[in-house]
Structure 1
Amino acid sequence: MTRPIILLCGDITHAQKEWEELSSFAELREVPIETREEFLDDCKTGKYDGVVAIFHTYMSARYVGLYNKELIQALPESVKFICHNGAGYDQIDPVACMERGIQVSNTPEVVNNATANVAMMLMLAGLRRSTMAEKNLRNEKFRGDIVPGYDPEGLTVGIIGMGGIGSAFSVRAKAFEMNIIYHNNNPVSDERNPADAKYVSMDELLETSDVISISCPLNASTRGLIGKSQFDKMKDNVVIINTARGPIIDEQALVDALASGKVFSAGLDVFEKEPTVHPELLKNDNVTLFPHIGTFTEQTLYKLELKVLANIKSGFETGSLITQVAEQRK
């Protein structure tokens, strides 16, 4: 009897042993690094017939591209599960998957602490403009032309998106004695609001926050959420932090707001056209830039891969995924 196939689209770096254990009930196969066109052709010519589950990684989009309607329609009829390694799953169209009877999972909760820690690093670096200070020091100017920064205590931080990451960030901000407000589609439960943050409208958040931290998912309603009109509403000398997805911010509008002095500094772990970074951001010493390392720790990478594997195993054993994405649970 032909064995079902689990297809790895990307790399497994930490849970190789656990991945290989799935061979007890399925054939394990990896997608070679190929172009989107090659992948589509291979799907259409039957190379991947028999694939039931796909282990999908964020980095695989660099060569295969987005799992949009075109690619999903090309997948073999045997595919029932796409299990994504990451909390954000904007690379996959869950509605198009649902039309094909394909369940999609992500890895919420696992990323919360690591990403919130990076957001705190970026916030503190932004408040103290540490990138400029370090650059001067490396250029043998000791302090050089740096200006005093700001203490976080007593400042108001506005969190856009009070999911798991936003909630974890709020706890950290509370430890720094900050006033915490947030905007979400709806107010969250007490369980999701351990720092007792105040729910406010988007306009109030923009108008009253000294620091704005973005942790909402990227979708049709959040793409370009922060642009020129939003920057115009913000307080002068605001600090902007983004650990969510780059296209939530209009980068040219951010560049202009930094140039005008409206934005004191920015801390970015994600970019609008990632991996490309706007050249003006690269040149600006008031911006701290990380190469999308929010979850890049040994412990978190391992837990992420384990969660994907648990979803795959659940799909085979029960016919459903443990952490199926929200759009498919409605």
Structure 2
Amino acid sequence: MPSAKPQILISGALVWAAAEVKQLEEHYEILVLDSPDRATFVKELTTGKYSNISAIYRHNSSAGAVGFYDEEIINALPSSLKYLCHNGAGYDQIDIAACTAKGIKVSNTPSAVDDATATVGMYLIISALRQFYKAEITARAGKWDQGIAPAHDPEHKTLGIVGMGGIGRALAKRALGFDMKVIYHNRNPVDPSLLAGFPEGAITYISTLDELLSTSDVVSLNLPLNANTRGFFGKKQFNTMKKGSVLVNTARGGVVDEEALLDALESGQLSSAGLDVFPNEPEINPRLLANDKLTLLPHQGTCTEESQHKMEALALKNIESALTTGDLLTPVWEQKGKL
């Protein structure tokens, strides 16, 4: 017998939003994904205990057991499933085209990650400019500051932001606090209302990526990973950057050609770089690990209790909104106007 309440499947970690889950339990039946492997999950979606679910809360941690939500998984989802609410700003582990073809609406949690990710971005900028990573390992090795040359202040340097979404704007706010000049490139200028909180003239739109790269002291990548951006930042882009400039990536590792990045560091085209993301996480290219011009973090962008709570809560609010009104609060951009 189907449940009297609509069913919600929790797919992956949900740790901090206990109060929000308890509120949902008043009106919905909560199921927790416990399939031991992908094959079992597919079977339980089609004929088993998940065959009547209405919505899914998804966290990337579920990939360890059942893999990505690719076309195979999407096509196995029951006809009752209408909403897939992902915990995370990036959603490259979900086949959005397959969801759209099946009429499944997808949401993510962009605004919830802005502050924490931007703080990591600012840390990477400062560490890369000031050589703080190299200085720390030298100090820990008992060598004080041996081999550490004078570095660079962030003040009055130009920060070029590629992708002026919520994270980009939060990063701009932090950079202005260090008296950096901020420029950005999008396909189109952002709505002026989104920049209303900034001092007039503090942020400048640059219409071409090449101009931004050639005039920036630091370039920060803040764009999603998709078919258009995968591996797009490579040799051409590095060669267009100013000699001795800095790259920071808190977006997705897959947007950068790692070999081209290493070549740029070794040639001196880049003086340093800061990375929080990698193409094959949790593996990190050994050549990156061996390079002391790099500050490396293990995807710490949203690794705070506050951000984790905000992300979980927003994903659950998307589910509640969808099941009560039919509309998601933060639908992914690929589906806007299509579903």
TM range, smaller chain: over 0.9
Task: Between 11-20 and 100-109, report the one with greater CA deviation.
Answer: 11-20
Q: Aligned ranges for residues 148-297 of structure 1 at < 5 Å?
A: 148-193=150-195, 194=198, 196-200=202-206, 201-297=208-304
Q: Secondary structure at the match of 1:121?
A: helix
TM-score by length of 1: 0.96
Give distance in 2, aligned partners of 1:59 and 1:197. Answer: 37
Task: Between 194-203 and 152-161, report the one with greater CA deviation.
Answer: 194-203
Q: Following TM superposition, by how much is the alpha carbon of 1:64 offset from its aligned partner in structure 2, in angstroms?
A: 2.1
Q: Following TM superposition, by how much is the alpha carbon of 1:145 offset from its aligned partner in structure 2, in angstroms?
A: 0.8
Change in Cα spacing, 1:272 to 1:41, as seen in structure 2 (3 Å) is same
Give distance in 2, aligned partners of 1:34 and 1:277. Answer: 27
Q: Following TM superposition, by how much is the alpha carbon of 1:191 offset from its aligned partner in structure 2, in angstroms?
A: 2.6
**AA matched with 2:19:** K
Q: Secondary structure at the match of 1:122?
A: helix
Q: Following TM superposition, by how much is the alpha carbon of 1:95 offset from its aligned partner in structure 2, in angstroms?
A: 2.5
Q: Deviations over 1:215-257 (max 9, x none)?
A: 0111111111211111111111111101111101011111111
Q: Which blocks of at least 5 consecutive residues in structure 1 are unaligned?
A: none
Task: Between 78-87 and 57-66, report the one with greater CA deviation.
Answer: 57-66
Give distance in 2, aligned partners of 1:132 and 1:11. Answer: 35
Q: Does structure 1 retain, via aligned residues, the 8 Å contact 2:55–2:319?
A: yes
Give distance in 2, aligned partners of 1:297 and 1:112. Answer: 12
Q: Deviations over 1:137-164 (max 9, x none)?
A: 0000011111111011111111000000
Give distance in 2, aligned partners of 1:34 and 1:150. Answer: 51
**AA matched with 2:291:** N
Task: Between 304-313 and 85-94, report the one with greater CA deviation.
Answer: 85-94
Give distance in 2, aligned partners of 1:161 and 1:119. Answer: 13
Task: Between 58-67 and 221-230, report the one with greater CA deviation.
Answer: 58-67
Q: Which blocks of at least 5 consecutive residues in structure 2 are unaligned?
A: none
Q: Deviations over 1:106-151 (max 9, x none)?
A: 1121111111111000000000111110001000001111111101
Q: Following TM superposition, by how much is the alpha carbon of 1:33 offset from its aligned partner in structure 2, in angstroms?
A: 5.7
**AA matched with 1:146:** I
Size of the aligned set, in residue pairs, is 330
**AA matched with 1:199:** Y
Q: Following TM superposition, by how much is the alpha carbon of 1:303 offset from its aligned partner in structure 2, in angstroms?
A: 1.1
Percent of pairs with identical residues:
48
Q: Following TM superposition, by how much is the alpha carbon of 1:90 offset from its aligned partner in structure 2, in angstroms?
A: 1.6
Give distance in 1, aligned partners of 2:116 and 2:70. Answer: 29
* Residue equivalent to 1:12: 14
Task: Between 119-128 and 299-308, report the one with greater CA deviation.
Answer: 299-308
